[in-house]
């Protein structure tokens, strides 16, 4: 494998598109975040709030029924659709065409949820980000991987990656197996870690922002919301993945002097997104 391409400020400035002066919410993209289950509704709240704070015009969350008031009250800017089931997802339906979809945060692995993911993959035509339990469900049902559209972004942490590609005995083997997986299934793999690598077939990128403050619950859920929002705003899947990972890490670099590692939480990432965007404009 060649050396990974560093994703630094110069690389990002070539890809970042500032918002046009004549923008309106109808052309800034509509993102759909599908996630949550009883006790894990915070995950999809974090993703949805991160999506709206990353600049897309509209965000809808699709959640189990018990999430309706939770999402509406937590994030009034976000619209909510609900499943028939109270505590977990069983049938995913919506009556608009999302510009991008992020799926999997906090959904669990109930059998009806597995079926819901399968049926969703059969009918979905929107650009897609797959995270968390949606990745775990694909690992349980590898025959469904061909249903994943080309250029979908997968965002596994190391354990989710291991479930997808099997164990490795060295970093080299981990990278080789991830490249092979990316090529076989035509997907972009965001290998979350310290640092995060983005694998697009044989081409591998290495992020340069971030620090251990990001090792906190919900940090990945926020990343999925950021990347889905960028995808909804017409960034290519590769640019959405690279810019999303860079901005996510940048929030931690900006906030750390004020929060310290300990008090930095996933909501701090969302709260610092504005400063991260502004620092790109300097």
Ligand X SMILES: NC(=O)C1=CN([C@@H]2O[C@H](COP(=O)(O)OP(=O)(O)OC[C@H]3O[C@@H](n4cnc5c(N)ncnc54)[C@H](OP(=O)(O)O)[C@@H]3O)[C@@H](O)[C@H]2O)[C@@H](O)CC1
Summarize as ranges the residues that interact with ligand ADP (CB under 6 A). 132, 157, 192-194, 196, 210-212, 214-215, 217-221, 223
Beta pairing, strands 188-191 & 197-200: antiparallel
Shortest distance, CB of residue 262 to ligand ADP, whole angstroms?
A: 13
Residue nearest to ligand ADP (CB): 220
Dihedral of the alpha carbons of 14, 235, 191, 226, in degrees to the nearest 10: 110
Q: Does the annotation place 221 within a ligand binding site?
A: yes
By beta-carbon proximity to ligand X, the closer residue of 28 and 131 is: 131
Closest C-alpha among 211, 209, 217, 229 to residue 49: 229
Q: Does the annotation place 106 within a ligand binding site?
A: yes
Closest C-alpha among 266, 244, 267, 146 to residue 192: 244
By beta-carbon proximity to ligand X, the closer residue of 57 and 160 is: 160
Q: Does the annotation place 196 within a ligand binding site?
A: yes
Choose the binding region for ligand X from 23-31, 81-89, 214-222, 274-282 (rule: CB under 6 A).
Answer: 214-222
Element (DSSP H or E) covering residue 58: strand 58-63
Of 63, 101, 132, 187, the one binding Mg ion by CB under 5 A:
132
Instruction: Give yes or no for residue 214 binding ligand X (CB under 6 A).
Output: no
Closest C-alpha among 38, 53, 29 to residue 225: 53
Of 57, 98, 102, 106, the one binding ligand X by CB under 6 A:
106
């Amino acid at each position: 494998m060649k050396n990974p391409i560093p994703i630094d400020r110069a690389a990002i400035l070539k890809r970042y598109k500032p918002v046009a002066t004549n923008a309106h919410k109808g052309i800034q993209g509509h993102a759909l975040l599908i996630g949550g289950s009883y006790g894990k509704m915070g995950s999809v709240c974090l993703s949805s709030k991160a999506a709206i704070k990353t600049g897309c015009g509209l965000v809808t969350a699709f959640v189990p029924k018990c999430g309706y008031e939770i999402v509406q009250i937590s994030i009034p800017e976000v619209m909510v659709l609900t499943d028939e089931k109270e505590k977990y997802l069983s049938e995913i339906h919506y009556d608009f065409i999302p510009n991008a979809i992020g799926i999997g945060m906090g959904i669990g692995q109930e059998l009806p949820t597995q079926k819901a993911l399968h049926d969703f993959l059969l009918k979905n035509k929107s650009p897609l980000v797959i995270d968390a339990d949606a990745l775990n469900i694909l690992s349980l049902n590898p025959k469904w991987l061909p249903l994943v559209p080309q250029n979908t972004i997968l965002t596994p942490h190391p354990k989710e990656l291991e479930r997808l590609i099997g164990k490795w005995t060295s970093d080299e083997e981990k990278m080789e197996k991830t490249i092979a997986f990316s090529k076989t299934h035509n997907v972009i793999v965001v290998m979350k870690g310290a640092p995060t690598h983005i694998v697009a077939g044989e081409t591998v990128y290495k992020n340069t922002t971030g620090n251990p403050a990001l090792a906190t619950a919900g940090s990945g859920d926020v990343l999925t919301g950021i990347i889905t929002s960028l995808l909804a705003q017409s960034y290519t899947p590769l640019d959405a993945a690279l810019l999303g990972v860079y901005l996510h890490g940048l929030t931690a670099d900006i906030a750390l002097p004020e929060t310290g590692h300990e008090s930095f939480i996933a909501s701090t990432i969302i709260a610092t997104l504005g400063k991260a965007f502004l620092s790109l404009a300097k």
